[in-house]
A = this chain, B = another copy of it.
Amino acid sequence: MEDNMEAITSSGVSTALRCIVKLGGAAITCKNEIEKINEESLSCVASQLRDAMMPAETSSGKILGMDWSRRNGLNSECFDNFDDLGNASVSDGFPFIVVHGAGSFGHFQASKSGVHKGGLHLPLVKAGFVATRISVTSLNLEIVRALAQEGIPSIGMPPFACGWSTCERNIACASNSQVAKAIASGFVPVLHGDAVFDSSLGCTILSGDVIIRHLAEQFKPNFVVFLTDVLGVYDRPPSDPKAVLLREIAVDKDGKWSIEKPVLNHSNNQVEFTVAAHDTTGGMVTKISEAALIAKLGIDVYIVKAGTEHSLKALKGQVNGEIPDDWIGTAIRSAKRS
């Protein structure tokens, strides 16, 4: 942890980032229904995040909800319960950053207008840029609310507003100072895939996965967790009866990866081919490649199904080091550790 980029708090104490969590779009939204949140899954994810970030508060049973909204039943009486908290001081939880995907938010607006291809001078692209941002920021607000209801001091930080921009789809400008300040003050920044300006294309879509890689490089968290809607990464589509869950993937310093567990009958090359075929439907090679870019920094990545005992263990850091035999998910780690 010596080489972690540390956020300096106002009191001069440095805070190392514990974890970056990706809430996969498929895990928190209903994929096939436009702009529909999977409330049950999101609520479970928020509850697990609270357990992982603030074990002390959770064990004491007191939760100070932070979404004081009319929709959430706000009235003057709510506040009477808070009066005894006025001068209490609680310790900050573990520092986390949350990044979420879009799922059924934003995707439709972006693909219909071609925002990812640029061309802001075209009215359809400009309108699509606005429509995409409305959709993804509305999802961001819902996620911030869900976390706040669990007592997590979450702060929405839409990348466009934060000044993130790209050049030929690669990050050109990413203001980390506001994210660092938020962490140092004990908040949990909540970022997301967003429509941004691109200096060559005019505009494009900056994905949550690219954001995570950038944040991981800058803040060097102890570990990264991807919460998805499947148990982990398989060697072929999970719907295939022969599909095998990959348990451990080792990544060398060049970013090349190989499957360590389980030992498969076919060779690595064959697996890669099989996984590549899978990619057209499930994006698993992309997922492994993105994760490998993080793992080669020496940061362990866990891909695990949201809302399970396995995701809770991963979020709590209980699978760092030796992976328990009963843990189900995919660990992607730098080769030197395995």
- In the assembly, what is the distance between CA of A191 and CA of B181, in Å? 21
> How many copies, total?
2
| Chain A contacts with B in 123-153, Cβ cutoff 8 A | 123-124, 126-131, 133-135, 137-138, 141, 144-145, 148, 151, 153
Q: In the complex, what residue of chain B is closest to A181 when comparing beta carbons?
A: B197
| Chain A contacts with B in 42-89, Cβ cutoff 8 A | 64-71, 74-75, 79, 82, 85-89
Q: In the complex, what residue of chain B is closest to A109 when comparing beta carbons?
A: B68
A68–B135 CB distance below 8 A: yes
Interface size on A, residues (CB 8 A): 68
A177 CB within 8 Å of chain B: yes
A99 CB within 8 Å of chain B: no
A307 CB within 8 Å of chain B: no
- In the assembly, what is the distance between CA of A135 and CA of B148, in Å? 12
- In the assembly, what is the distance between CA of A128 and CA of B86, in Å? 11
Q: In the complex, what residue of chain B is closest to A160 when comparing beta carbons?
A: B155
User: A122 with B153: in contact, given A10-B202, A131-B148 (CB under 8 Å)?
Assistant: no
**B contact residues around A129 at 8 Å (CB):** 153, 187
- In the assembly, what is the distance between CA of A123 and CA of B83, in Å? 11
Partner of A66, one of B64, B71, B127, B185: B127
Partner of A156, one of B34, B36, B153, B161: B161
Give min CB distance, A188 to chain B, whole Å.
9
A161–B157 CB distance below 8 A: yes
Give min CB distance, A199 to chain B, whole Å.
8
